[in-house]
C-alpha cells in the first residue's frame, strides 16, 4: 500500500509494468500469500451469492408445489426461444470471460481487453433482449406481479403469484448482470493501465468467477421458468 509509489518508480525506471512488479499488500508475506487469501475471500463471497439464490429457489419450489397449474400455464406464456437465445448469449460470455482470465495469466494485454469488452457486450445483449422482447411486452399485456396483474386470459387464480416470482427472480438476476457489467467496465479501465499480468490477475479471476455464478443461476432459472410442462 504505502509502498506502491516506490514500486511504480522502480517499474518505470526499469521499463516494467505495475503488474510485473506488484509485490503484495503489507500485511501479507508475499504475493502467493495474498493470492490465496483473496481467492478464499472470493469463494466465500460467491457462496453467499449461491445461498441468496438458493433462498429464491426455495420460494419457487414452495409456490410451485402449492400451485402447479398456475406455474404450468404461466410458463406456457413465456417464449422459450428468447430464453434460449439469452442462455446462449450468457454461455458465450462465460467463454470470453474464461479467455480473459487466461489472457491475464499469459500477459496477452490486447486480447485481455478484447475479451473483457466482449463479455461486457454480451451482458448488454442479454439485458437488451430481456428488456425489449420480454419485460416490455409483458408489461404492456398486464402480465405483472400480484396486484398489478391485468392479463385477461388466465387459467388459474394464482397466476399473479407466478408472475410475481417470474419478475422477482429474473429481476434479481438481471441486477446481478448489471453489477457484473459495472465490474467489467472497471476491469477494462485497469487493463488499459496495464494492471494485470501473469503475476497479478486476482481481480480478473474474481470477477470471472462471479460472472460464472451469474451464468449458472441463469442456467437454473431458464428451465425453471421457461420449460415447465
Partner 1 sequence: MASIPTKAGSHAHDHGHDDHSYLHPKGGFIATIWDWASTVDHKKIGMMYLVAVLFMFFLGGVAALAVRLELMEPTRVIENQATKTVQVTGQLFNTNPGSIAEGNVIYNRVFTLHGLIMVFLVIVPSIPASLGNFLLPLMLGAKDVAFPKLNLLSWYIYLFGSLMAVSSALAGGVDTGWTFYTPYSTMTDEGHWRVVMMIGSAFILGFSSILTGLNFVVTVHKLRAPGMGWFDMPLFVWGIYGTAIIQVLATPVIGITLLLLIFERLFHIGIFDPRIGGDPVLFQHFFWFYSHPVVYVMILPGMAIMSELIAVHARKKVFGYRAVAFSSLAIAGISFVVWGHHMFTSEGELAATIFSALTYLVAIPSAVKVFNWIATLYGGSIKLNTTMLYALGFLFLFSIGGLTGLFLGSLSTDLHLHDTYFVVAHFHYVMMGSTIIAFMGGIHHWWPKMTGKMFNELWGSIGFWLVFIGFNVTFFPQFIMGSHGMPRRYASYIDEFTIYHVISTYGSWILLAGFIVHLFNFVHSLVAGAKAPPNPWGALTLEWTDAASPPITHNFHHEPIVTHGPYDYDDVVPPQTKPGEFPLPPPLPAGSAKH
Q: Which residues bind partner 1 (CB under 8 A)?
A: 1, 3, 7, 10, 14, 16, 20-21, 23, 25-27, 29-30, 33, 36-38, 40-41, 44-45, 47-49, 51-56, 58-59, 62-63, 66-67, 70, 145-148, 157-158, 160-161, 163-165, 167-168, 171-172
> What is the smallest separation between the CB atom of 19 and partner 1, expressed in angstroms?
11
Q: Which is nearer to partner 1, 10 or 185 (CB)?
A: 10
- Helix, strand or coil for residue 4? helix
Under 8 Å between Cβ of 169 and 56? yes
Q: Which is nearer to partner 1, 172 or 228 (CB)?
A: 172
Looking at the DSSP bridge assignments, the partners of residue 200 are 197
Packing angle, helices 202-226 and 31-66, rounded to 10:
10
Q: What is the rounded radius of gyration, in angstroms, for the C-alpha atoms of the chain?
A: 22
Under 8 Å between Cβ of 126 and 91? no
Q: Which is nearer to partner 1, 77 or 98 (CB)?
A: 77
Report d(CA 201, CA 205) in Å as an integer. 6
> What is the smallest separation between the CB atom of 40 and partner 1, expressed in angstroms?
5
Q: Which is nearer to partner 1, 56 or 116 (CB)?
A: 56
Provide the phi-psi class of 121: left if phi over 0, else alpha when psi is between -120 and 50, else beta. Answer: alpha
Report d(CA 105, CA 121) in Å as an integer. 22
> What is the smallest separation between the CB atom of 105 and partner 1, expressed in angstroms?
16
> What is the smallest separation between the CB atom of 130 and partner 1, expressed in angstroms?
18
Provide the phi-psi class of 142: left if phi over 0, else alpha when psi is between -120 and 50, else beta. Answer: left
> What is the smallest separation between the CB atom of 169 and partner 1, expressed in angstroms?
10
Amino acid at each position: 500500500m504505502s509502498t506502491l509509489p516506490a514500486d511504480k518508480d522502480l517499474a518505470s525506471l526499469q521499463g516494467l509494468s505495475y503488474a510485473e512488479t506488484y509485490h503484495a499488500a503489507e500485511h501479507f508475506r508475499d504475493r502467493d500469500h495474498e493470492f490465496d487469501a483473496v481467492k478464499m475471500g472470493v469463494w466465500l463471497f460467491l457462496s453467499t451469492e449461491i445461498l441468496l439464490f438458493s433462498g429464491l429457489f426455495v420460494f419457487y419450489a414452495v409456490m410451485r408445489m402449492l400451485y402447479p397449474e398456475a406455474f404450468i400455464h404461466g410458463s406456457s406464456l413465456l417464449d422459450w426461444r428468447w430464453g434460449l437465445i439469452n442462455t446462449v448469449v450468457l454461455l458465450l460470455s462465460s467463454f470470453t470471460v474464461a479467455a480473459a482470465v487466461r489472457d491475464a495469466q499469459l500477459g496477452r494485454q490486447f486480447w485481455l481487453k478484447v475479451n473483457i469488452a466482449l463479455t461486457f457486450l454480451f451482458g448488454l445483449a442479454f439485458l437488451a433482449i430481456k428488456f425489449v422482447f420480454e419485460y416490455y411486452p409483458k408489461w404492456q399485456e398486464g402480465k405483472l406481479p400480484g396486484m398489478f396483474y391485468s392479463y385477461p386470459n388466465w387459467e388459474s387464480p394464482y397466476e399473479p403469484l407466478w408472475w410475481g416470482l417470474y419478475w422477482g427472480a429474473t429481476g434479481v438476476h438481471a441486477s446481478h448482470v448489471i453489477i457484473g457489467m459495472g465490474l467489467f467496465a472497471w476491469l477494462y479501465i485497469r487493463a488499459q493501465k496495464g494492471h494485470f499480468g501473469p503475476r497479478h490477475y486476482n481481480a480478473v479471476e474474481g470477477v470471472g468467477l462471479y460472472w460464472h455464478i451469474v451464468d449458472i443461476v441463469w442456467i437454473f432459472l431458464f428451465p425453471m421458468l421457461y420449460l415447465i410442462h
